[in-house]
């Protein structure tokens, strides 16, 4: 596998793991049933894309499970602190929008930098980007 393909898959994998982690952290604060169901759907979508990134990387991403723990820990602490002060639905929607925007930014940077990557990895990255964009649209009504 070439470096470009690997870098795109690594970014997809990382973004999906961060999304799943954020959903798991925030869903416990949700009082809105409709939003809980939406979170469940997005969690499934991100988990599928994460598994696909591992498959396309021929297992290399599974072996790594690199220093995402630090990022996950920071995200968890950040979410916990924010929720201590404001656990309403609009704050949760805002946090998900912020995270999705970060995911879009990082995957777009990788797509621009590694445009010669294999088509399947580019397709997965674009699917990740579109999922983030849809999540943002779905969250807007909860602001």
Set out the domains of the chain in order of their start, with CATH numbers.
3-140 (1.20.1260)
Q: Encode pLDDT of 87-119 as tens digits.
A: 688 888 988 999 999 999 999 999 999 999 999
DSSP class of residue 141 equals T
pTM as predicted: 0.86
| Residues in the chain where the model's pLDDT stays below 50 | 66-67, 70
Dist CA 31 CA 38 (whole Å): 13
């Amino acid at each position: 596998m070439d470096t470009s393909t690997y870098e795109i898959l690594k970014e997809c994998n990382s973004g999906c793991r961060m999304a799943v982690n954020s959903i798991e952290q925030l869903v416990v604060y949700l009082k809105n049933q409709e939003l809980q169901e939406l979170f469940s759907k997005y969690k499934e979508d991100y988990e599928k894309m994460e598994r696909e990134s591992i498959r396309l990387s021929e297992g290399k991403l599974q072996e790594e499970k690199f220093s995402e723990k630090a990022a996950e820990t920071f995200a968890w602490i950040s979410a916990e602190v924010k929720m201590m002060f404001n656990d309403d639905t609009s704050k949760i929607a805002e946090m998900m929008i912020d995270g999705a925007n970060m995911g879009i930014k990082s995957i777009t940077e990788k797509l621009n930098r590694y445009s010669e990557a294999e088509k399947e990895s580019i397709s997965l990255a674009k699917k990740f980007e579109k999922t983030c964009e849809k999540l943002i649209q779905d969250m807007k009504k909860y602001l």
